[in-house]
Structure 1
Amino acid sequence: MSDKQDKATAYWKENLRYLLILLSIWFAVSYGAGILFKTALDSIKLGGFPLGFWFAQQGSIYAFVILIFVYVRLMNKLDKKYGYDE
């Protein structure tokens, strides 16, 4: 039973590590690019709009959707690694 518990604990530790990394990336894109670095990014235009505005309005959403797909892929690999896949 202890081996099963150790396996489950290792699985959740890796899962939490993935979550922290991916949410940190999302935070950096949404808060960093959309708010902190907005002024610097506004000198660049994307589709006629300042890049800082674009990140604040749409870039963080796109980044979040991409990170969802990355998370699904990582979790599928993690499930196979620990034998939780079906």
Structure 2
Amino acid sequence: MSANNADDVRDRYWAKTRNLTIVVLALWAFFALVIPAMVSTLNQFTFLGFPFGYYMIAQGSLIAFVVIIWVQNWRQDAIDDEFGFGEEE
């Protein structure tokens, strides 16, 4: 493998990893900052008998964070495997 080819693979790997990180951070910011800022508007609706804004702050954002972490790990494993950086089983 030539040095230029290795550099190209490394650059594409880090570009995909960077893009995934940007998406994850944007989603995290949405659920951590935007949803709490909109709580009074969201409270006009109910979910499971609770005001929706309260539910999103108390449970919904936490569920979203767990899902974001799971998806990020799943996608990063796929990126690692695609470029040959995955763990050997």
TM-score, normalised on structure 2?
0.81
Which amino acid is 1:67 matched to?
I
Shift of 1:64: 0.9
Partner residue, 1:46: 47
Shift of 1:9: 1.8
Instruction: Show the 5 A alignment for 1:1-86.
Output: 1-35=3-37, 37-85=38-86, 86=88
Asked if 2 retains the 8 angstrom alpha-carbon contact of 1:41 and 1:51, the reply is: yes
Query: Structure 1 length normalisation: TM-score?
Result: 0.84
* Percent of aligned pairs sharing the same letter: 25
Q: Give 5+ residue unaligned stretches, structure 1.
A: none
Distance, in Å, in 1 between the alignment partners of 2:67 and 2:45 is: 23
Structure index of larger Rg: 2
- Please give the root-mean-square deviation of Cα atoms over the aligned residues, in Å: 1.5
Shift of 1:5: 2.2
SS in 1 for 2:70: helix
Could you list the runs of 4 or more consecutive aligned residues of structure 1 that deviate by over 6 angstroms after TM superposition? none
Q: CA deviation at 1:67?
A: 0.6
